[in-house]
Amino acid sequence: MAYDYDPENVFAKILRGEIPNDTVLETEHSLAFRDIAPQTPTHVLVIPKGPYVSYDHFALEATEAEIVDFTRTIGAICKMMGVQPSEGGGGFRMISNAGEDAIQEVPHLHFHILAGRPLGRILTPA
């Protein structure tokens, strides 16, 4: 089944400049901005500018330039936020929810970069 991208999702509106965002970094193919309802002291969302619903969509259909840019942007954000364990930061967690079971609220690929406090275990037993 083909991926069905909804151009009216909130991140598409941010990319078109129709609603504001708190940008941390913008590159040719990616945008990083602060989550409107932060769950941790550092909570940044990184999105590709292209119309990809989820990470599997992006991984299968994005161009190599988009993939490299997106990956490097995530690295740059970790550096800018000072969370890299190798540099004395406390570390971070990166989450990308996809679809119903993961409770993806916005159907435009995004990675959450979460940091700034102990984060606990990622999942609890069902």
Residue 103 CB, nearest approach to ligand AMP (Å): 6
Residue 35 engages ligand AMP in binding (rule: CB under 6 A): yes
| Residues between 80 and 109 that touch ligand AMP (CB under 6 A) | 97, 103-106
25 touches ligand AMP (CB under 6 A): no
Choosing from 2, 37, 122, 123, the residue that interacts with ligand AMP (CB under 6 A) is 37
Instruction: Residue 44: count other Cβ atoms within 10 Å of its Cβ.
Output: 26
82/115 Cα distance (integer angstroms)? 10
Q: Provide, rounded to whole angstroms, the least separation between the CB of residue 104 and ligand AMP.
A: 4
Least Å distance, CB 114 to ligand AMP, is 10
Residue pair 52/29 in contact by the 8 Å Cβ criterion: no
Q: How many CB atoms lie within 10 A of CB 41?
A: 12
Q: Are 109 and 115 in contact (CB under 8 A)?
A: no
Count helices and strands (H / E) in the chain: 3, 5
Q: How many residues of this chain bind ligand AMP (CB under 6 A)?
A: 12
Summarize as ranges the residues that interact with ligand AMP (CB under 6 A).
10, 19, 21, 35-37, 45, 97, 103-106
